[in-house]
Every structure is written in C-alpha cells, then in structure tokens.
C-alpha cells in the first residue's frame, strides 16, 4: 500500500504538470519530488508520467491512477474536515448554477425545505444552459449533464435522465404513431435549437445496439425546453425531450411516449464544484441534501 504523502506528491505533479511547480507548492526539493515519483513507479511497475525536457504529462496508466488518487485524497480530507467541523453550521452565501428547465422543475421545488433546514444560508441562483466557468464566475455548485469534460472539478452523481419522444393524443389521432425512427420523415418533428450554435439538436436513438441520430424536420423550433413541451402537449407535433420535462403531462395523459424500443442511453446528471483543500460546510450541506432527496424520489 502506498503512503499518502507519496500519492499527494504524484497528484500535485500531475495537476501542475511540473516537478518544479509541485516542489514549490509542497515546500520540498525538486529532487525529493523526483525521487518520490520514481519510487512510486518502481513499486507499481508502470510508468505514470511521460517526461520531456519541456513538460510533464500523464501516461494512460498515470491518468487512470491520478483520478483515483485525487478522489481518495479529497475523500480523506473531507472526512477529516467533517470530524473537525461537525458543530459548525452552514452559513453565508451559496452560489448555485443550473440548467434552466431542470433547475425550475426539479431543484427549485426543494429549495424551501433546504432553506428551512439551513436558515443561516443565503442562496444566489443563476439559471443558464451555457457552460459556466465555476472558478471565474464564483459558483459554489453547478448542475451538469452527461460525461464531464473538466477534470479540475469534483463531482457527485445526482440522478440521470433520458431522451424520449412524446406526442399528444390529439396529434396521434390525426397523424398516427411512428413505429420506427424512419417513420419520423412523415411526421412534424418539433426542433430544439441550441443557443450557442443556433443549430437544431439531433434526435438520438439506438438501433440494433448502435446509436444513431435523426435531424428533425418540422414547422417549429424552440430554444426553451418548457416551450417545446407545451407545443407538443398542444398537439403541434412530436418532440424528443428529457424525461423530467414531461412528468406532469404524462400523469395527466396530455403526452404519450413513442419509439420506446429505440431510446438512447441515459445521461448522468452531476453536482460539480471546484476542487478545494477543504469542502465548505455550506457546499457539503447542499450536495448531501440534494443527493438524499433525489434518491428518495427514485
């Protein structure tokens, strides 16, 4: 088993991509850093870092080991902080960012209970579907969909969602139901336009185990998921939407799913937050509260 000090040195070198930078931040010599990495690689029997005269990068094995080590060290630091701060109440201003539709439908309804549990917290909430730099914009916690690209952030899985195709009973009465994605060419498909690219989002399906896309063709497109859902509910056409938009219309019989055999894989939904040496009580309280409530909702 590796000692934590050596793992911490490895993580710092990987983050800084520099032996010199890691040594300066850790307050040890560059030779001490280099020796620790060499011992670690010898003990594991793999090369973790690719060294050149100008830079230090992770090998494939090193990248996988780095993610595990960083999470392990973060968990240990958090556990230590929990023991030290069990009597501290979350206070101050908590800045949250979340996608517009998911935030309004799934997160905001829980905020009153969260506020009642932590009355000394003030919540500042931004709702946007653009990519937000958490550090640059001073965001404490954000909601992200899909596979995470920013390795500098810590993440905790909140729930998941899935694209499905829906239509109103009135639409099906006039136009029938598509049986396969190929049938969509004969239907009015309501589009969702991405704000940043101004392009219609392709509809995703899985056929014979292979994911494929269809470009929707119809007489309406929207940049707001709630408006898209309303148009589908009114019988304007078919729409492929995340399932969380249609919980209430489904229960009311206002929308019905089709092409269920061709649903794409689920997309994870995460709570992400900047990596810090110590996770603040207010961030921990919000994350734990949300994860617990989403688990209860199934």
- 271 and 257 in a common domain: no
Q: What is the pLDDT of residues 1-26, one digit of tens each?
A: 568 889 888 998 988 888 888 888 88
Q: Which pTM does this prediction carry?
A: 0.66
Q: What is the pLDDT of residues 33-61, one digit of tens each?
A: 889 989 988 988 999 988 876 778 889 88
Specify whether the CB–CB gap between 111 and 94 falls below 8 A: no
CATH number for 21: 1.10.10.10
- 58 and 121 in a common domain: no
- 180 and 120 in a common domain: no
Instruction: Give the pLDDT band of residue 280 (cuts 50, 70, 90).
Output: confident
Given 51, 84, 117, which residue is the final one in a domain? 84
- 115 and 243 in a common domain: no
Share of the chain above pLDDT 70, in %: 95
Given 57, 84, 111, which residue is the final one in a domain? 84
How many domains would you assign to the chain?
Answer: 3
Give me 115's structure tokens: 């506020």
- 290 and 199 in a common domain: no
Give CA–CA dist 226/181, Å, rounded: 23
Domain with 105 in it:
92-160+267-297
- 252 and 172 in a common domain: yes
- 185 and 134 in a common domain: no
Q: What is the pLDDT of residues 224-273, one digit of tens each?
A: 999 999 999 999 999 999 989 999 999 999 999 999 999 999 999 999 99
- 280 and 134 in a common domain: yes
Q: What is the pLDDT of residues 141-188, one digit of tens each?
A: 999 998 887 667 888 999 999 999 999 999 999 999 999 999 999 999
Give me 105's structure tokens: 């439908």
- 147 and 10 in a common domain: no
- 199 and 184 in a common domain: yes
Share of the chain above pLDDT 90, in %: 52
Give CA–CA dist 51/48, Å, rounded: 10
- 64 and 40 in a common domain: yes
């Amino acid at each position: 088993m590796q000692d934590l000090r050596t793992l911490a040195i490895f993580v710092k070198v990987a983050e800084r991509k520099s032996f010199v930078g890691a040594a300066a931040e850790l307050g040890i010599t560059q030779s001490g850093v280099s020796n620790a990495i060499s011992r670690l690689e010898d003990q594991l029997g793999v090369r973790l870092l690719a060294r050149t005269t100008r830079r230090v990068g992770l090998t494939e094995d090193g990248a996988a080991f780095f993610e595990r080590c960083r999470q392990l060290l973060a968990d240990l630091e958090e556990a230590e902080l929990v023991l030290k701060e069990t009597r501290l109440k979350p206070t101050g201003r908590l800045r949250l960012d979340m996608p517009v539709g998911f935030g309004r439908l799934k997160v905001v309804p829980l905020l009153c209970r969260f506020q009642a549990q932590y009355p000394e917290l003030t919540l500042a909430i931004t709702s946007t579907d653009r990519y937000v730099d958490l550090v640059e914009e001073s965001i404490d916690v954000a909601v992200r969909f899909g596979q995470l690209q920013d390795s500098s952030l810590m993440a905790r899985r909140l729930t998941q969602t899935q694209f499905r195709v829906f239509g109103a009973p009135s639409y099906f009465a006039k136009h029938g139901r598509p049986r396969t994605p190929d049938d969509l060419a004969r239907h009015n498909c309501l589009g969702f336009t991405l704000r940043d690219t101004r392009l219609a989002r392709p509809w995703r399906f899985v056929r014979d185990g292979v994911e494929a896309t269809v470009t929707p063709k119809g007489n309406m497109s929207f940049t707001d998921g709630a408006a898209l859902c309303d148009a589908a509910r009114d019988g304007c056409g078919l729409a492929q939407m995340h399932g969380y938009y249609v919980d209430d219309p489904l229960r009311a019989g206002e929308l019905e799913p089709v092409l269920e055999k061709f649903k794409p894989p689920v997309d994870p939904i995460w709570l992400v937050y900047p990596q810090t040496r110590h996770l603040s009580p207010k961030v921990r309280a919000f994350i734990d509260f949300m994860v617990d409530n989403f688990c209860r909702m199934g």
